[in-house]
Each structure stands twice: as structure tokens, then as C-alpha cells.
Amino acid sequence: MSHLPLPLYGFAAFFMIFWFGTWCVHLIAICYGKYKLHKKSCKLPTESSPLPGVSILKPLMGVDPNLQHNLETFFTMDYPLYELLFCVEDKHDPAIKLVEQLLDKYPLIDANLFVGGSDVGVNPKINNIHPGYMAAKYDFVMISDSGIKMKDDTLLDMVQNMSERHALVHQMPFTCDRDGFAATFEKVFFGTVQSRIYLSADALGINCHTGMSCLLRKAVIDQLGGLRAFGCYLAEDFFIAKRVTELGWKMRISNQPALQNSGLCDIGSFQARLIRWAKLRVAMVPTTILLEPLSECLVLGALAACSASLLFAWDPLVFYLVHILGWFLSDWLLLSIVQHGSMPFHKFEFVIGWFFRELSGPYLFLHALWNPAIRWRTRTFKLHWGGIAYELPLNNTPASESPLIASQQQQQQPAPTLLTATAAAATATSTSTTTLATTTCSGSGSGSGLGTGTGTGSSTGSSTGVATTGTLPMAKHRLLVS
């Protein structure tokens, strides 16, 4: 084989080194997951160091069959001091009635409902929860997506992971046990691919934060300009973690994974979600374009098999099959560690779900590269390199970005201008404030030109809004946003 070009041997050596490094990631994730996950904390609060209060932000839009149960788990947590701040953009959203029913059912829980949102950037989630964030009264703020189900001791675990050196504690995404192949596919993804990257990144101190369930020091976020400072990003979670660590603070995952429990579970919508995440990763970390496809089991195995054949004259087919078997077994082991109990599906279902994930992964990534526009319900965004987002005009938005994403266009609602707050405690009061906020976002990466927007429509990077509230001594009141 001496007649082969020398650069070919260089590529073969590179792929073998990359293959070896990927297996190191497997080993780190398995060992760290075994050490970190589901570990009970022995620290107990004392009179000299009581547990701090936590303000929990819950962005809501629409309802699904599991929403009431998911929200109710926040009313029954075993934690002494917290408030629930439910945030809904549309005053006609059916989630409002559901929240009001829970407020009536649990009158002793400190809870408020904010309807209307704010206009502080292009990020719909930041716009939705911003009024709740401004009203938060405790030193720690938790942001928790609507589909998250809480265990009794989850908040306690997150707080106890928040040491004096940490400003951000986040949960590794996982799923509850649900029926159907779509639920199996989701659990396989979050328990293998996602967990492998998440655990190894946290062990190595790499930013892996996802914002579906996280606990923040409010003073640190305020120092960075508050949540409105991140309204120009769609991946606000990544940039919050980035800015927090740049200030010298630490972040880490909690012992308990975040239990996603959406009542609407289908392959198409989940794959659309994976495509959207891939588009965000490519814009934020451009090296993802090269590294992510190479980290896929089938792609990397084929390259490593050819390299091993060239360098060591090993049988490529045998090498490839052993590689796939080893990857499969390590993924099963990692999923078992994350699950921490019996699997809700048969081993054969895992085999089918695992192969489906491995075969569809490269296709979904290529789909993300082919069409970088990101559809968020009725709105479509594009990203500059570095993560700054801007919104495309509605008349230029395609009717359907793909068959996978078309299913997301069914439940659409206009942005409102009314803000309603419902307090559960009969003695709750609110201090009169008038706020005039103007925010312009900028960041690293090429192309930072942004437009402006005001009112209840969309904004693309710069927005102005005025909110006026009066003294409200009653338990239930409403605020108007002009």
C-alpha cells in the first residue's frame, strides 16, 4: 500500500484518533452519569443557613392532555419557600383557565398569572416570561418549560447544587415514561445521544446548558442586563450560560434529570424540534458543521473501518460491525443509568428506536444545513453567525418549511397587549412601578444589522415598551400594558 498518497494516511490517522476520542466521551459520560445522577444530597437546612426562596417562571402557550398534571406537580413540591409565576402571551389562551383552576385549588401557594408578555426582542420565550421575571421577588429564579414534570424533591436538589461558586444549575433533559413508539424514540435520543454529550460536557466544564429547566442567581442575570439582554437570541440558554461563566461564575447540572412529559408526542414534531436545535448549534458553533456528522455512529464507524484497514490491514467489515455493537451496548448502559429503573419498553423496541435514531440523525442534520431558516409557530427567523436572530417578514415566509415542521403551524395565536396577574395569596400586594425599556442586542459573529419593532407585533432586535401598574391590595388584579 506504499503507492497510496501520503495525505491519505494522514486522513486515516485523523479519523482513528477522532474515533478513539469519541469512545473516551462514551466512557466519561457513563462514569460521570453513574457518579452524578440520582444521588441524594445529605445537606439539610439549618437555622443559620435556611433554604433560599425561589421564583419559578412557567411560560405557557396552549394546553395538552398532560399540562394540568405537570403544572400541579409544582404546587405540591416539598420546598418551604417559593412562588409560581405563570406567563401567557394571549389573553384567549386556554391555559389561562387551567391555571386559574389550580390557583383556586391551591390557595395557600404563592402564585401569580401574567398575561400579555413584553416586547423586548425576537425571542418569543423571553418576551413571554419577562413580566414574570420583573415581578420575581426572590434571589433565585427558576425557568421551567410547560412540559416539565417535577418530583417532590427536585427543587431542593437544584438549590443544594447551587454553591457559593455557582450561578447556574440546570437539569439534563430526559423524558417521563409514556406509551408509543414516539415516546420510545424520544427516550432513546435523550438517554443516549443527548445524555452522552451533556454529561461529558458538564464533566469537562464545557457549556452544555439547555434552558428547559434551570436555576439562576437573579443578581447575576440583572448584572448582565436582565433577561431582556438575551431577547435578541433564539438560543438564550446558551448565551446566558456563556455570559455567566465569562463573569467567573460556575455552572453544573443537578442530580435529577428534567422529566419532559408533553401530552402530545409524535415523530414528526420531535424531528422538527431536532432540526431546529441543529440549526441553532450550527449558527452558534460553526465547527458543528464538521464535528457533528463525524460523531454519528454509522458515519464515524465507516470512516474508522476504512482507516483501520489502511493503517493496520484489519478487516473493515468486522471492525465496522464490532464498532456498531460496542456503540449499541454503551448506549444501552448509559440509558439504564439515566433511567435509574426498569425500562418502559421491551429491548426489541430499544433496538428499533436506536437504529431509527442513528439512521435519521445524519439526514436531519443535512436538512438543517439545507434550510437554515427557523420556524417558531407562525414566525420564521434566521440567524447570523454568532447566534443573533432576526425575523423574516410574514409575506416572505413559506407556507410550510417541510413536512416535519408543517404540523407546528396548526395552533397559532396573535400577540396580545393585555397583562393580567392573578395572585393566590389573599394578602399579596404590588408596588407601583412605571418602566420604560429600550433594548438593543448585539453580539459576536458577522452580520449584526437588525431592524426595530414596537407594539404587539414582532420585533427584530430592538424594542420599546411601557408598562404601568398601580398599588393592588386585592388577591386578584389586572395590569394594562400600553
Q: Which residues are catalytic?
A: 237
Q: Is 123 exposed, middle or buried (0-12, 13-18, 19+ CB in 10 A)?
A: buried
Task: Give the number of C-alpha atoms closer than 13 A to the C-alpha of residue 70, restricted to the C-beta side.
Answer: 25
Alpha carbon distance 252, 209 (integer Å): 9
CA distance from start to end of the chain: 76
**Alpha helix (H) ranges present in 371-456?**
none
Angle at 136 between CA 134 and CA 139, to 5 degrees: 120
**Alpha helix (H) ranges present in 39-78?**
67-75
SS3 23: helix
Task: Give the number of C-alpha atoms closer than 13 A to the C-alpha of residue 211, restricted to the C-beta side.
Answer: 24
**Alpha helix (H) ranges present in 81-168?**
95-105, 124-135, 154-160
Q: How big is the chain, counted in residues?
A: 482
Alpha carbon distance 127, 111 (integer Å): 20
Give φ, ψ of 460 to 5 degrees.
-130, 65
Q: Measuring CA to CA, which residue among 333, 344, 410 is closest to residue 378?
A: 410
Cell 434550510 locates to: 371
